[in-house]
Structure 1
C-alpha cells in the first residue's frame, strides 16, 4: 500500500476550459424538456458554472482529506480510501460503487459510518470503511485485456480485503454494478463475508425475470414495469454492452458530451421531482464527471457492460447463502419486491425507504447508513 493524493496537472484543467469554450451546441426542438435526452438549457447553465464557478481544486482538497492509497491487487493497480472507524472493534465494511459514478458515490457516508457517535448513532456501530475505485474507474488502473466482468472484479476486491488489508471477515455493500459484484463476492468468497447489503437486485436477474416460474402478482407487475423502463430508458445498456469503444471516442473527447451523457442518468434515476438540483448540487454533478474526465476512464468504465453481457459466469446464477440485507429506494430503477430478491439471496433484512433513488449514497446518506447499522447489528 502506498499513500495517494489526487493532484490533477494544471494543463489538464486548462485543456478542459479550452474545450468547454469551443463547444458546438446542437439544436433542440421547442418544449423538449428532458423527453429527448439531456435538456439543452439546463446543460448550458451547468457548463457555464463549470467554466466560471466550479472549483476543481477545492473539490480535490475535500477528497484528499480522506486517506487514500494505491496497491497492486491481483495484477491491478487499485485506488481506494481506507478510513479507520472510531471506538472499539469497528467492523470492516467494503463499499462498492457502480456506473456512472466512482468512489465519489460513497464519500458522504464516510463520517457517518466511521464515527456514528458524532452522527446520531452508537459508538459500537462504527465501521472501518474501504472504498475502492473499480478497475477501469477513476484513479484505478484500466484493464488492458478482456474478461473484467463482475466475477473478476469480485476476485480483485476479495484479494484487496483479505490479502492486502488483512481482514479475515468483512461486510460488503453495493448498488448498481456494485450489487452484481458483491453478489459474486458472496458466491465465490463467502468464507470472507459476514454479510452483504444491497440497494437493488442485480440487473442480470431482472433481465431474465420473465422466464422464471410461478411469478407472484407483485413480481408480474415488477416484470411489466421493467419492460417499459427498458423500452424507454435502456438504450444506453445496449450501446455500452455491444459497441462501447465507438461511444467512448466522443465521450472521451468532449467534456460537454460526457457531462450530457452522465447527468441524464442522474436526472432520470434519482428522486428529484423533475429538478435534478433538488437532489444534487452542481458541485456534486460536476465532481462526479470530473473524475471521469481527468482520468480518461469513461471508455474503460462502460466496457464493464460489454464484459458482463458476454460473461459465462453470470448466465447461471446460484443461490447466495451469505446473510443479505436490502435497502430499497422508491425512485430507483424498477425496485424489486422481496419475493423476487428471495429467489436469489438469503434475505435476512428488508427495508423499503420513504424516499430516494438509484444513487442512494449521494441522495440519502442518512437513510442508507441507518439501514446498514440496523442490518449489521445482527452480524456483530
Structure 2
C-alpha cells in the first residue's frame, strides 16, 4: 500500500511538472509569435507611407524584405524556442532531482514508519498480553462472584420458600379456624332460630289456649245468665200466680178456717221461698257478672299481652332478619376471605417468580457488565 501510494504521488508530481512545462512552452511560443508578428506589421506600416505608387520592382523588393524579415523572425523564434527548450530541460532535470529527493525522503519516512510500527506493535502486544491477563483475572473474579451470588440466591430462595411455606401454613390454619368459627356461628344462629321459633310457637299456642278457655268461661257464664233470667221469669210468674190465688182466696173466703189459714200460710211460705230464690238468683247473677267482668278484664289483659306478644314476635322477626343478614354477611366475609386467601396465594407465587426473575436478571446483568469491562480492557 505504501509503495503504491508513493508511485501514485510521483506520477501525479510528474504530470503536474509536464503540464506546467507545456503551458510554459505554449505561452512562450505565443509571446514570440505575437512579438514577431507585431514587428513585421510595424515595419510594413512604416514602409507603406513612403510608397504612393508602388511598382513591380518595389513590390518585389518589399516581398524580399518581408521574406528576410520572416526568416529573421523565424530564426529568432527558433532561438527563443531553443532557449525555452533548454530552460524546460533544466526545469525537467530539477524536477527529476526533486522527485529523487522526494523518493529518498519517502523511503526514509517509510523506514521510520515501519520502525515506529514495529515499536507500536511490540507495545500493543505487551498491552494486549497485559489486558488478556487482566481480563482473565476479571473473568475469574466474575465467575467466583457469580458462583457466590448463585449460592446466595439459592440460600435466599430456600429461606424465601420456607417463609412462604410458613405463611401458607399459617393461612391454612387461619382458614381452618375461621371455618370452625363460621360453623360455630352457623350452629349458634340455627339454635337461636329454632329456640325463637319454638318459643314463639309455644307462646302463640298458650295464647290461643288461654283465649279459648276464657271464651269457654264467658260462654258458660252467658248460658248461666240466660238460664237465670229464664228461672227468674218463671219464679216471678209463679209468685204472681200464688199472689193472685192468695188474693182470690182472701177475697172469697171472709171467714177464717184452719184450712184457709193453712193454705194462706202455705202460699205465703211459697211466695217467701220464691222471693228468696229470686234474691239468690240475682245475687248469683251479680257474682257471675263480676266473673264475666273479671274474665273480660283478663281477656283485655290477654289482648294486651297478645299485642305485646305480637310486638315481641315482630322484634323476633327483626332479630331473625338481622341474624339472616349477619349470616349473609358472614357468608360474604367467608367468600371474601377465601378470595383473599386465593389472591394472596397468587400474589405470593407472582412475588416468588418475580423475585427469582429479578435475581436471574441481576446475575445476568452483573455477568454482562463484567464481560463488557473485560472487552473494554482488551480493546
TM range (shorter): under 0.3
- Greater share of residues in helix: 2
- With normalisation by structure 2, the TM-score equals 0.14
Higher relative contact order (CA 8 A, sep 6+): 2
- With normalisation by structure 1, the TM-score equals 0.14
